[in-house]
Structure 1
Amino acid sequence: MRVVSLVPSLTEAVAVTLPGTLVGVTDWCSHPAGLDAIRVGGTKNPDTERILALAPDLVIANEEENRAPDLDALRAAGLEVLVTEVRTLPGAFRELARVLTACGAPARPRWLDEAEEAWAALPEPTEPATAVVPIWRRPWMVLGRDTFAGDVLARLGVHHLYAGHPDRYPRVPLDELRAAGPDLVVLPDEPYRFTAADGPEAFPGLNCALVSGRHLTWYGPSLAEAPRVLAEALRAARR
């Protein structure tokens, strides 16, 4: 089986489960380390000619991370394209199982069971918190409705204040974000790389949690440790 992955989290899932299956991945596919596959460009601008030259049996993609015209071009050239849709944690588990089966996995991998078990074992949150969750600055953009990361945070007792916004990733002026008065400002390190020196200074007087974007937004093997890693970061920000 020859597979091209256009989604970093799916790349990790396939590489860990089926070593040697991936022949092409994006420039943003950073896990696992030492991945041996041809780079085919970005998630938003893949090199379709390079992908075609790899002659994959399957291209795996995501409706949010990849552009429909690129996927349509691959289909028009005769390639099979599997497109995932992930908006919730249960949806992520279902889609991961579907992708791995399509890629030739003979059985459900142990890491996927461990991830489901880790999330199922989460205790009921004792101190729910409200949050705003910026994902970009210049302009400021935050999590809105119907997002995987929003569902992940809700399961950890963190309810982001723009969950009811009409847009999934609304642009919101910084003054409005500050005035919302959240218990936390959750700052992931992707897609925008927020750091201790780039992000918290915009929210004086508010508790800021710097979190791993891979654990907040990726659906793959990182889900097994995500509850612990994220919970620790969120607790530390509220101390």
Structure 2
Amino acid sequence: MRVVSLVPSLTEAVAVSLPGVLVGATDWCSHPADLDVVRIGGTKNPKVDRIIQLAPDLVVANEEENREPDLTALRAAGVEVLVTEVRDVPGAIRELGRVLGACGAKARPRWLDEAESAWQDPPVPDRRTTAIVPIWRRPWMVLGRDTFAGDMLARLGVDNLYATHPERYPRIAIEELRAAAPELVVLPDEPYRFTSDDGPEAFEGVPCALVDGRALTWYGPSLTAAPRVLSEALRAAGR
């Protein structure tokens, strides 16, 4: 089996579960750290010709992270493409099982069972907290409706104030974000790298939780530790 992954989360999941199966991955696929495969460009601009030259049996992609024209071009060249849709934790568990099965796994890996178990009873505080979750700056963009990261936070007692917004990742002016009066601002280090010096100063007086972007947005082996990692970061912010 020869697999090319266009999604960092799926790259990690396939690499740790089925060593040797992956032959190509994007430039953004940073886990596992020792991953040794052909790099085929970015998630939004993969080198389609290079992927075709690798002669994969399967390309795994995601409806949000990858562009339909690229997937259509691969299919037109006779390449099988599996496209995942992940909007919540149960969906992530389900889709990971589907991807690994399509890549040749005979059974679910132990880490996927552990991830499912970890999210069945995550640590939840006595009181829920309202929050906004910026994912970009210049312009400001936040989590909106129907997002995987938003579902993860909700399961940890954090309610996204923009969870009912018509858009999934709306652009919101900083003045409006402040006026929303969140009890907490959650700042991940990806896709925009928010830091203690870049982000919190825009929300003076509001507690800010700097969180691991991989724990918040990746659906793969990181799901196992994500409840603990995120909860610790939220508690450190005083939530």
- Whether the TM-score (by the shorter chain) exceeds 0.5 is yes
Report the Cα offset of residue 122 of structure 1: 1.9
Does structure 1 retain, via aligned residues, the 8 Å contact 2:48–2:70? yes
Conservation of the 8 A alpha-carbon contact between 2:123 and 2:227: no
Task: Check the 8 A contact 2:123/2:228 in 1, yes or no.
Answer: no
- 1:124 deviation in Å? 4.5
Alignment partner, residue 8 of structure 1: 8
TM-score of the aligned structures, taking structure 2 as reference length: 0.99
> For the residues of structure 2 that align with 1:161 and 1:104, how far apart are their CA atoms?
41
**Could you tell me how far apart the structure 2 residues matched to 1:18 and 1:68 are?**
27
SS of residue paired to 1:60: strand
- RMSD (Å) for aligned C-alpha atoms: 0.8
- Counterparts of residues 29-178 of structure 1 (less than 5 Å): 29-178=29-178
Mapped partners of 1:48, 1:130: distance in 2:
42
State the shift of 1:34 in Å.
1.1
* Partner SS for 2:231: helix
Whole-angstrom CA distance in 1 between matches of 2:124 and 2:55? 48
| Alignment deviations for residues 2-38 of structure 1 (CA, whole Å, 9 cap, x no partner) | 0000000000000000011100000000000110100
Post-superposition shift, 1:179?
A: 1.2
Structure 2, unmatched stretches of 5+, are none
| Equivalent in the alignment of 2:183 | 183
The amino acid that maps onto 1:162 is Y
Partners of 1:156 and 1:61 lie apart in 2 by 28
**Runs of 4+ off more than 4 Å:** none
> TM-score, normalised on structure 1?
0.99
Cα distance in 1 for partners of 2:12, 2:87 equals 19
- SS of 1:139's equivalent in the other structure is coil
Report the count of equivalent residues.
Answer: 239
SS of structure 2 residue aligned to 1:190: coil
Cα distance in structure 1, aligned partners of 2:13 and 2:125: 29
Q: What letter matches 2:217 in structure 1?
A: T
Opposite residue 236 of structure 1, the aligned amino acid is A
Q: Distance in 2 between matches of 1:194 and 1:236?
A: 16
Letter in 1 for 2:13: A
Q: CA deviation at 1:238?
A: 1.3
Inter-partner Cα distance in structure 1 for 2:192 and 2:121: 31
What one-letter code is carried by the residue in structure 2 that aligns with 1:224? T
Q: Distance in 1 between matches of 2:125 and 2:238?
A: 14
Superposition deviation, residue 121 in structure 1: 2.2
How far 1:123 moved relative to its partner?
A: 4.5
Q: Deviations over 1:40-75 (max 9, x none)?
A: 000000000000000000000000000000000000
Check whether the contact 2:23–2:38 (CA below 8 A) recurs between aligned residues: yes
Shift of residue 172, structure 1, vs aligned partner: 0.3
Q: SS of 2:237's equivalent? A: helix
Q: Distance in 2 between matches of 1:122 and 1:227?
A: 6
2:213 match: 213
Rounded to whole Å, the distance in 1 between the matches of 2:135 and 2:124 is 27
Could you tell me which amino acid in structure 2 is paired with residue 12 of structure 1? E
CA distance in 2, matches of 1:123, 1:52: 45
Name the SS for the 2:135 alignment partner. strand
Give, as a single letter, the amino acid of the residue that structure 2 aligns with 1:9.
S
Distance of 2:224 and 2:34 partners within structure 1: 21
